[in-house]
Amino acid sequence: MNPKYLTFILAFLLVICYSVLGYFFERQQFGILFLLYATAFVSTYYLIKTNGISSVYYFKIGLFFRIILLFSTPFLSQDFYRFIWDGRLIATGINPYGFLPNQIINSIATFPQAGILYEKMGSLSASHFSNYPPFNQFIFALAGVLTGKSILGSILVFRIVIILADIGIYYFGRKLLLALNQNPNKMFWYFLNPLVLIELTGNLHFEGVMLFFFVGSMYLLHQGKWKWAALVLGLSISTKLLPLLFLPLFFQKFGFKKSIVFYGIVIGINLIFFLPFLSPELIHNYSETIGLWFTNFEFNASIYYVIREIGFWITGYNVIHTTGKIIPILMILYLIYNAFFGKCKSTSDLLQNILIVLSVYFFTSTTVHPWYIINLVVIGVFTKFKFPIVWSFLIILSYFAYSNPEFKESIFLLIVEYSVVYGIFFYEITKKSNSNILTNPL
């Protein structure tokens, strides 16, 4: 078949999938979700594999898919209500880190649509302090100032920022791939990935903004502009805290003296962004909320669920409060080991070790939401590993829990998801270890 005709057919199927998901779908409909997502994923795979189509054309297609979702309400997550809440708090002069929504819902009568936002964010979010870093809060505040009376208006502000970040990831990602002597069209495994489109543009998660700064930082680092790279990496951490996990891996690349300056810039940028929110309660409230992710929340885990079942068998109760404290300590020790004994001197070495470390982190986490895997997809583009792409498909199985009124996960689907992911992960390592997969670029 003519490549242009095939591309048109595949793009048309994708338009249908994203249109239905964006405007005619509810997350309880898992069967429909899986059918549409599987169709979108297979169509995207063959779209990328089609020869004779220019990269500019592919970029326009990816941008068009995002425009389709522009006016949709997020359909798989309600987190955006909390984003809007925090932004409007800032716009009215209230520190989002200082109060629980439960504490102030009855004292902010002048807060536009406060009741709707409070109800829609859910009881879990309403009973916890905000855990979103300061640069993220500035984006929320931008929406609060520009569209303080319109939920759809705030959604549009968030979505435009996220789409611009995706374009930035695509731009700097291609430049970095070229600098690493790799095919720049590998970026389409990110830019056209259905998980990226659904969870970032569709559901308004800000991993894309964080990853824009991260990819930009890695490009600057590869160009030898390491101080600018530190500044931009600081912005990445100030958007989402996840890149904190990577910091020890830079030590081997810079050595002791440069590392002090590098880490100093990263920490300094974050302190500057936290300054407007500084209060006596900030450190306590923020650290308490972050700690809950390790000791209270469970979703789509793998190794942790095995440990939990063993704990039930031995003790008769859920051991999350114990394991949630032990696992981070073991992760820190693993990071320290990699910082001193891993191969992180070249940009390729660094990226591939970041991918491994982040994968181990998710493998041992108590909570693995679908949009978390987007981090692996981006970093995996710069390596030989394929398992992040496979996981970006299988992660959709975790949404089965929302089809159950009791929010109950399927053990069978968890086994399917992780057996395939672990299988491919270890297969790629063992098969390609002789080719130095952890140290050599593609």
190-226 pLDDT, tens per residue?
999 999 999 999 999 999 999 999 999 999 999 999 9
The answer to whether position 328 is within a domain reads: yes
CA distances in angstroms from 128 to 169, 190, 439, listed in the order given: 32, 33, 42
pLDDT over 70 at 170, yes or no: yes
The answer to whether position 135 is within a domain reads: no
Percentage of the chain modeled with pLDDT above 90: 73
pTM: 0.94
How many whole angstroms separate alpha carbon 95 and alpha carbon 193?
36
What pLDDT, on a 0 to 100 scale, did the predictor assign at position 437?
Answer: 42
What pLDDT, on a 0 to 100 scale, did the predictor assign at position 110?
Answer: 66
Looking at residues 9-35, what average pLDDT do you find?
A: 95
How many whole angstroms separate alpha carbon 243 and alpha carbon 236?
7
Highest mean pLDDT among 110-124, 154-168, 270-284, 420-434 belongs to 154-168
DSSP string covering 312-330, please?
HHHHSS--HHHHHHHHHHH
pLDDT over 90 at 56, yes or no: yes
**Number of H helices and number of E strands within the chain?**
21, 0
The answer to whether position 292 is within a domain reads: yes
The answer to whether position 376 is within a domain reads: yes
Looking at residues 111-128, what average pLDDT do you find?
A: 90
Residue type, 192: L
Is 379 or 290 the better-scoring residue by pLDDT? 379
Quote the number of domains for the chain: 1
The answer to whether position 81 is within a domain reads: no
CA distances in angstroms from 407 to 2, 19, 27, 397, 398, listed in the order given: 46, 26, 12, 13, 11
How many whole angstroms separate alpha carbon 115 and alpha carbon 98?
19
The answer to whether position 392 is within a domain reads: yes
Range with lowest mean pLDDT among 43-52, 266-275, 334-343 = 334-343
What pLDDT, on a 0 to 100 scale, did the predictor assign at position 271?
Answer: 95
The answer to whether position 132 is within a domain reads: no
Averaged confidence pLDDT in the chain: 91
Contact indicator for 336, 366 with CB cutoff of 8 Å: no
The answer to whether position 99 is within a domain reads: no
Residue 299 pairs in a beta bridge with: 367
Residue type, 122: G
* Domain extent at residue 332: 3-75+154-277+288-435
Which one-letter DSSP state was computed for residue 200? Answer: I
What is the dihedral sign for C-alpha 65, 67, 73, 78? positive
Range with lowest mean pLDDT among 76-85, 116-125, 276-285, 392-401 = 276-285
What is the dihedral sign for C-alpha 102, 108, 109, 115? negative
Contact indicator for 84, 140 with CB cutoff of 8 Å: yes
List the Cα angle 110/115/119 in 5-degree steps. Answer: 155
Helices 134-146 & 207-222 angle (0-180, nearest 10): 130
